[in-house]
Structure 1
Amino acid sequence: MQQEYYSHGKLLLSGEYAILDGAVGLAVPTKFGQSLKLVPSSSPFLGWTSFDTDGQLWFEAEFEVPNLKLRISSDEKMANRLLEVLTAAQSLNPNFLVDGQERSVETFLTFPRDWGLGTSSTLINNMALWAKVDAHDLLQRTFGGSGYDLACAQHNSPLLYHLKDNHPTVQEVRFDPPFKENLFFVYLNEKRNSRDAIANYRSLEFDKAELIHKLTTITKNMAICSTLEEFLALMDLHEQTLSEVLKVPTVQNRLFPDFPKSIKSLGAWGGDFVMAAGTKKDQQYFTDKGYHTVLSYSDMVL
């Protein structure tokens, strides 16, 4: 019998970087995600095939089971990362992959891999569901991170997320602002490596408690504000606060200094998506500059 699991992608609207240290972040699951399907197979090995949003095969591998070893792959680096996840899942659940059942795995993305909406987090969550292990534990044994992306994978509504004593705390919120038709997301044509960005953040010296307090306050106000003007002011304050800590200019100052309204980085600064505010005409501003992936709030957020 086929089994299939599905996880939502993610966007972190506030709290980036400091969410690793306990700041509260506002996160939203996306309408895009990834599925993992288990298919009966006649092979004694675990076959793995991954397909992108266009249905094109982008990765395949084969593993020995239950004593996990890589046999063949189209991308050895990718295969070894996957082997790390499989091994970690087995260490959390010793019964995983030892039933002798012959199967293969197929994964399907509904968003381009370079969008940064959670190729890894959706995989981790699907793997945790399959292996019957805690997704946060599996994340910490493999990719690391705050885990907000796993919360998005598992929930169907916006949420406030923070780590307390390294334990994830999730509160679903009704974030459905009346001005959401004025919010949109622009892909910067570049995927940023989150681990590199986190390493840089960790190397900086600053008042961590003050940053956590500032961004948590901004996040909570963003979650409840009812006017676009207030939301834009909070976006700008968040950007300026992190710019001072990271010692890098905001994305608006760096790339879009003549944009008349507000722009906010999402996740690792310098890549993936930004959130902007404005009208349809304002969206054309980005298209004219060569940023052709522009999605409305309603098209992006679940």
Structure 2
Amino acid sequence: MKKTFYSNGKLLITGEYLVLDGAKALALPTKFGQNLIAEKSSNQEIKWKSHDADGSVWFEDTIPFSAIISNTPFEKESVKNTLITILREAFLLNPDAILNSEGYIVSTHLSFPKKWGLGTSSTLINNTAQWFNINAFELLKNSFGGSGYDIACAQNDNPIIYHLEQGKPVVEKVKFHPTFTENLYFVYLNQKQNSKNAIASYKEKKNNLEDAKEIIDQLTETVLDAKDEDTFAQALEKHEKELSSILEIKTVKESLFPDFDGTIKSLGAWGGDFVLVISKENPSPYFMAKGFETIIPYSEMIL
């Protein structure tokens, strides 16, 4: 019997990096996501196949139960080793899912291109947690680490305000329906950012962040409650300046698009994946002329 699990992708609108230290973040689940189909098999192994959005197979291998139970790494097999780490931590949280099984055939399917960075890992972790009947936040903490906002998006079909309280996730479903969504676009920067590396860099640079957290909390509330486009844009521009100062990095607009007539906001890890663009005119000609051809209107991206 096949079991199918699904998780939403994610975009972090405010609170990037500082969400790790308890700041409130506005996060939006996307219309894109990933499913996982598991069926019983044999031979004390998992036959695994991962599909990209175009149907192509980007990873395929067989993982013996023994490798999961003993956490056996495979030389030069980074994807396989990462998967074993996730499955090992899932096994530790619920050993019966492996010990009481003869084997599995598993396939995963992304509905967005893997390179987009909308949550290939977080959707996998949340789907695996559903499959093993365990807590996805615990699985994330024990495997990849991170704030967990992406897991919250995977599990919710509504916009959320997310923060950590004494290390525990707090998820608040909110109403976020800007009247100016026709002027909001998501542009892919043609490179996937490594979240682990970005977080490590942030931890090296951060100082006393209490004042910054308070500022970001206030800006998150302003963004959430904004009744007009100008208030929304101004809050996001202030957010960019605040993070630019903390990270000691130029904003994406300063570094890539200084002549753009509108607001550009980094989302998630700076330097890659998507940015949010606020423009009264369709910005597609501008970005396409600069080689950025993936431009998605808000209504086509966000649940």
Taking structure 1 as the reference length, the TM-score comes to 0.96
Structure 1 stretch 44-53 or stretch 229-238: which is displaced more?
44-53
Structure 1 stretch 18-27 or stretch 283-292: which is displaced more?
283-292
Tell me how large the CA RMSD over aligned residues is.
1.7
What is residue 276 of structure 1 aligned with on the other side? 277
What is residue 234 of structure 1 aligned with on the other side? 235
One-letter identity of the residue aligned with 2:107: E
Query: Where do 1:92-107 residues align within 5 Å?
Result: 92-107=93-108
Secondary structure in 2 aligned to 1:14?
coil
Secondary structure in 2 aligned to 1:244?
helix
Whether the 8 Å contact between 1:48 and 1:105 is mirrored in structure 2 is yes
Offset from partner CA, 1:40-89 (integer Å, 9 cap, x none)? 43544211000110111110111222662689999711101100111101
Offset from partner CA, 1:21-52 (integer Å, 9 cap, x none)? 00000000000000000134354421100011
Offset from partner CA, 1:210-250 (integer Å, 9 cap, x none)? 11101111001111111000001001000001101111110
What is residue 159 of structure 1 aligned with on the other side? 160
One-letter identity of the residue aligned with 1:162: H
Offset from partner CA, 1:85-140 (integer Å, 9 cap, x none)? 11101111121211233321000011111101000000000000011111010001
Of all paired residues, the percent bearing the same amino acid is: 44
Gaps of 5+ in 2: none
Query: Where do 1:10-159 residues align within 5 Å?
Result: 10-65=10-65, 68=68, 76-159=77-160
Secondary structure in 2 aligned to 1:226?
coil
How far is the alpha carbon of 1:206 from its aligned partner? Answer: 2.7
**Which 4+ stretches in 1 moved above 6 angstroms?**
69-75
Whether the 8 Å contact between 2:51 and 2:108 is mirrored in structure 1 is yes
Structure 1 stretch 110-119 or stretch 92-101: which is displaced more?
92-101
Gaps of 5+ in 1: none
Equivalent pairs, count: 302
One-letter identity of the residue aligned with 1:222: V
One-letter identity of the residue aligned with 1:108: H
How far is the alpha carbon of 1:251 from its aligned partner? Answer: 0.3
What is residue 3 of structure 1 aligned with on the other side? 3
One-letter identity of the residue aligned with 1:33: G
Partners of 1:205 and 1:5 lie apart in 2 by 38
How far is the alpha carbon of 1:207 from its aligned partner? Answer: 2.7
One-letter identity of the residue aligned with 1:10: K
Whether the 8 Å contact between 1:64 and 1:70 is mirrored in structure 2 is no
How far is the alpha carbon of 1:161 from its aligned partner? Answer: 0.2
Secondary structure in 1 aligned to 2:97?
coil
One-letter identity of the residue aligned with 1:36: L
Offset from partner CA, 1:156-206 (integer Å, 9 cap, x none)? 010000000000000011101001111100000011111111111111143
